[in-house]
A and B are shown apart, each in its own frame.
Chain A
Amino acid sequence: MRLERKDLLGLRDISREEIQLILDTALPMKDIILRDIKKAPTLRGKALATVFYENSTRTRTSFEIAGKYLSADTVNLQVTSSSVQKGESLRDTIKTIEMMGFDVIAMRHSMSGTPQYVARNTNMRVINAGDGANEHPTQALLDMFTILEHKKTLDDLKVAIVGDILHSRVARSNIYGLSKYGCEVRVVGPSTLIPPEIERLGVKTYYNLDQAFKGVDVINVLRIQRERQQSALFPSLDEYADLYMVSSDRLQSAKDDVLVLHPGPMNRGIEVSSELADSSSMLVNEQVTNGVAVRMAILFLMMGGSRGEVAN
């Protein structure tokens, strides 16, 4: 069994079976990370390029080390957002990478849909490492893997996603992924940061944290970007924290064994209180390890074995 697709661009159009395959494969991968000799030879002779048009040392490093643990050659291509504005077109950049012989690229871009554009224009397999406000499938998969490890199932859980839903690719990918397991997904945040008609994605919308947390199994706290304040989407980080900072005493209405996730890095004292950040409910550090495991699984499923037999 393998992923029946050339690229992994998002969770919106992927089947539950494919998600489950990735999660099942991530478990043995995690064992590799935890042992002394963190290396398996399976992707020997395969090459992964990380191409990040938006800074994210964490995600990029996670992809790179995931590839290295499986013996792929991984290279970080130095690109910056400013190089989009001038000089070489993305099309030319991608062609150059392809001609160097890379098998897979993991791509981060500030503009939604760019990995889709790249995937259409290359024979390389493309993994979306986050595009604009669209999707961040590997983040959602590692979130799901983390939930699965603790809850033993993903079926029919109640999950609240807190914060800037409007601009969040993490929120969208989580909504698409969790919905396939029958989860009740709630989004909560200031009304200016809830996108229009999001209920049509099957989620419930809340503006009040305590109502949103009632009976939830999992809370996924999104990182708040300071720029949103400049766009007049909310008055101040202080007011945001007053209304939406997740802390231990705001978990009262949630289930006793509620899990708190955060994609990192955390803004302590803004979207999450410092004491909760250091508590046992907060799984941010486990998520980092699981991120490597999930990415190893995806790289194996996409690169392991023969190339080109999956229809584009």
Chain B
Amino acid sequence: MKLLIKNGHLLDPISKIDRQMDILIENGCIQELGEKLEIEDAIQIDASGKIVCPGFIDLHVHLREPGFEYKEDIASGTRAAAAGGFTTVCCMPNTDPVIDNAAVANFVRERALLSGVIHVLPIGCITRQQEGELLSPMAELVAAGCVGVSDDGKPVMNARIMRNALDYAKMFPLPVMVHCEDENLSWEGQMHEGYYSTLYGLRGIPTLAEETMIARDLMLAEYTGAHLHICHVSTAGSVQLIRAAKQKGVAVTCEVTPHHLTLTDEIVGDYDPDTKVNPPLRSQKHLDALLEGLQDGTIDCIATDHAPHHWEDKDCEYNMAAFGISGLETAVAVLMDRLVRSGKLELAELVRFFTSAPARILGLAPPVLAAGAAADLTIIDPDIEKKVDPKNFYSKGKNNPYKGMHLKGWPWMTIVDGEIIAHDGKIQV
């Protein structure tokens, strides 16, 4: 089957293409890029006015399978990702059982091939059972296809264990993806500590809880020389610490989520549990610092931290509600609407944050628009406006604080290995 995408505006930060061209796809690969291509036996797709990019990678999602299929499974999670414009996702290992051995990692990859619709790369645990005590078998995990290790959702509180994990991971090398939170400081916290936690009477999570842990891990990374990847950076202080560490040459990378870039703690206002996330939504000062971090290269990439939950885990008292946002299906639209449209972020930069940047962190070949490359494409319609309605999500998790908002600029088509997986928010397979 041949697929000819015509009249789209190609945008690829790696091959430095930024103009209107046609793409011919055949056998799962890009065959040809060119102007006014005419291929008679190809299915033609008119992408006029659309932005054609290499396939987007989200290196931080929770697919919940195995163990929490009532929240999400690989079938629903990968469909949500495809609808949201992603062609590859990395799934975090806090499943049940956790991904701390080859059997579970293989299970996830097999399930992805069987029921998934996009590429799924598992991330293994740093420590067995994510208990922060014994190292997980990283060589075994690498052999089973894991691209990083993380105890995401939990910090490794013991500095000695963390130091050993970094030392051990560097020989593969594997990025050690850390959820930085000092649990003694964040103790029972429900939202960002600041004016609004005072106003709403909810226990606060101080920025310190994240920053002291980042400071520790940066020192450990510097000492060991390992690749530290800091998940979901949320504070101005964190950005500052990482900036300084990068200047010193520490092998650190980090990600930021769309919600931390665009929502403040004020929206916790009517105690809607869909606003409850960890790290918490911060104040405007932190949002500004995160954006600056993105602009000056301190922050390497954007990831959703897609954390779907069953509605019962969110339809309850604020304190009882689970942390997390189901973000795959709104990530691109949120960034297009809130950052690209307002001129705070170049569209080309947005593409880079979702393509070559995460690929580099994971040690993968970057997705490119070039003849011979795999035909993983994300096509964005910058002009379409839609209202966020979680009821229409492919994700089982409807927990999304953007619900009801009108956003402009949405993923239009997702192509994986030459096959159209999603079109206009609808799964095609």
Contact = CB atoms under 8 A, between A and B. Distances in A.
Contacts of A57: none
Contact of B317 (A12, A84, A135): A84
Given A84-B320, A113-B202, A116-B271, 13 more contacts: A89-B312, A112-B319, A117-B316, A120-B270, A131-B201, A132-B201, A132-B319, A133-B202, A133-B203, A134-B202, A196-B195, A197-B198, A201-B198
Given A112-B201, A132-B202, A135-B201, A196 B193 contact: yes
A40 interface: no
Interface of A: 12, 84, 89-91, 109, 111-114, 116-117, 120, 131-135, 169, 172, 195-198, 200-201
Nearest to A134: B201
B427 to A, nearest CB: 32
A256 B198 CA distance: 33
Interface in B172-203: 190, 193-195, 197-203
B317 A109 contact: yes
Interface string B196-218: 01111111100000000000000
Contacts of B316: 89-91, 117
Contacts of A172: 201
Nearest to B270: A116
A90 B317 contact: yes
A195 B318 contact: no
B195 A169 contact: no
Contacts of A91: 315-316
B317 A111 contact: yes
A134 B193 CA distance: 14
Chain B contact residues (Cβ within 8 angstroms of A): what range? 20 to 34
A114 B317 contact: yes
List 5 A-B pairs, minimum CB-CB distance, nearest first. Answer: A113-B271, A134-B201, A133-B201, A195-B198, A197-B195
A133 B319 CA distance: 12
Interface in B200-255: 200-204
B236 to A, nearest CB: 15
Most buried by B among A113, A134, A200: A113
B265 to A, nearest CB: 11
Given A196-B193, A197-B195, A200-B195, A117 B201 contact: no
A132 B188 CA distance: 13
Contacts of A117: 271, 316-318
B201 A196 contact: no
A135 B198 CA distance: 11
Nearest to A231: B187
Contact of A111 (B193, B198, B270, B319): B319
Given A133-B202, A134-B200, A111 B195 contact: no
Nearest to B202: A112
A117 B316 CA distance: 7
B190 to A, nearest CB: 8
A116 B199 CA distance: 14
B214 to A, nearest CB: 21
28 contacts: A84-B317, A90-B317, A91-B315, A109-B317, A111-B317, A112-B190, A112-B271, A112-B318, A113-B200, A113-B202, A116-B270, A117-B316, A117-B317, A117-B318, A120-B270, A133-B201, A134-B200, A135-B201, A169-B201, A172-B201, A195-B204, A196-B194, A196-B198, A197-B195, A198-B198, A200-B198, A201-B198, A201-B199
